[in-house]
Structure 1
Amino acid sequence: MASPSPSNHFAFFDLPESFELDKDELASRYRRLAAALHPDRFASGSERDRAQALAKTAMLNDAFDTLRHATRRAEYLLSLNGVELADESRTLKDTAFLMQQMEWREALMDIEDADGIDAMRKTILDARAALHQEFTSLYGQQDFDAAADTVRKLKFVDKMLIEIERLEESLLDY
């Protein structure tokens, strides 16, 4: 395995820069790197060695967290290509998707049972899968502006999944 490079999360794990990624391989490489970089291995080393091990472990954890989540991975890929989405205030101009959001929110408010939650979750997971494919295609074509809009949609879909989980928890509390 190549020496970990903190300048690029993919390079850190010796993986190609790609949205499609083998999560099991990522996890395996994470475990190996975590064991090799663990600060306890440098407990008898110099203060500098211990500090570097701690810093590299923090970078490793950040890189792993970013790459294992598809939406964060997509956002990171765009950042590598000069498109920064973090802390932006730009809104989506896709009226069809905006209407879809409103319909999903209304449907979510009308859910009263587990069957409704399951159906809504399936709808949103299907939408997320389609957006993943859309991002892969747009990113592959280097249409970074359109890919960024897809990431904005993915962020909304991720929030919807969290809202579905919260609703499910509240319904189970009864």
Structure 2
Amino acid sequence: MSFDFSRSHFDLFAQPELFQIDRAALDARYRELQAQYHPDRYASAADIEKRLALQIATRINEAYQTLKSPLARGRYLLQLSGVETQEETNTAMPMDFLMGQMEWREAIAEAKASQNVEALERLNVELRGETDALEAELGALLDRAQYEDAAIAVRKLRFMEKLDAEIGNAIEAALF
């Protein structure tokens, strides 16, 4: 069994190193790789082959999860370009974005306190629209090699991801 662990996620999935990907081709290649390297296919093989199959399957899953998520894909493209997103250390954001975050949190808190599922679902739809727009902006920034601005977009998307989780948790709490 041969597998080159040094290949990029894009190379592994036969995708160009671009933000925009062919999702159908990505999914098809994932199923193909899973069929070829799934550890169950090596259940009766020697221990070393079993371990290798598990390592390969893990790498395939990691690469697939990275490429199918716009945020993770953007982060990975920046990493390939040698740019750190500094998500853990750089929380500086434009003032208008921070003000927007405060407004989102207030709206979520109000809807959550009143257990207003409809309001939470409306917020979720609005957030999805803003997230989609920010993901498109990230793609354009990466395509133009504006990596520092793209890193800021990744940090913004991380905030949006947290808001999405907060809304989801609030909906779940209101329903149960």
Structure 2 vs 1, CA of residues 22 and 4 (structure 1 numbering), >3 Å: closer, same or farther? farther
Aligned amino acid, residue 33 of structure 2: L
Matched-pair contact (CA < 8 Å) for 1:71–1:155: yes
Aligned amino acid, residue 130 of structure 1: A
Aligned amino acid, residue 13 of structure 2: F
The TM-score with structure 1 as length reference comes to 0.90
Q: Find the counterpart in structure 1 of residue 5 from structure 2.
A: 6
Q: Find the counterpart in structure 2 of residue 171 from structure 1.
A: 174
Structure 2 vs 1, CA of residues 87 and 109 (structure 1 numbering), >3 Å: closer, same or farther? closer
Q: Find the counterpart in structure 2 of residue 157 from structure 1.
A: 160
Partners of 1:154 and 1:53 in 2: CA distance: 34
User: What percentage of residue pairs aligned between the two structures are identical?
Assistant: 37
1:46, distance to aligned residue in structure 2 (A): 3.8
**1:74 and 2:71 correspond:** no
Q: Find the counterpart in structure 2 of residue 93 from structure 1.
A: 93
| Alignment coverage as a number of residue pairs | 171
Structure 2 vs 1, CA of residues 40 and 115 (structure 1 numbering), >3 Å: closer, same or farther? closer
Instruction: Give the counterpart of 1:141 among 123, 139, 144.
Output: 144
Partners of 1:51 and 1:170 in 2: CA distance: 41
| Structure with more relative contact order (C-alpha pairs < 8 Å, separation 6 or more) | 2
State the Cα deviation string for residues 45-83 of structure 1 (Å, max 9, x = none).
444333322211111111111111111111111100011
The TM-score with structure 2 as length reference comes to 0.89
CA RMSD of aligned residues (A): 1.7
1:40, distance to aligned residue in structure 2 (A): 2.8
Partners of 1:143 and 1:102 in 2: CA distance: 27
Which structure 1 segments of 5+ residues have no match?
none
Deviates more, 1:40-49 or 1:117-126: 40-49
Deviates more, 1:21-30 or 1:92-101: 21-30
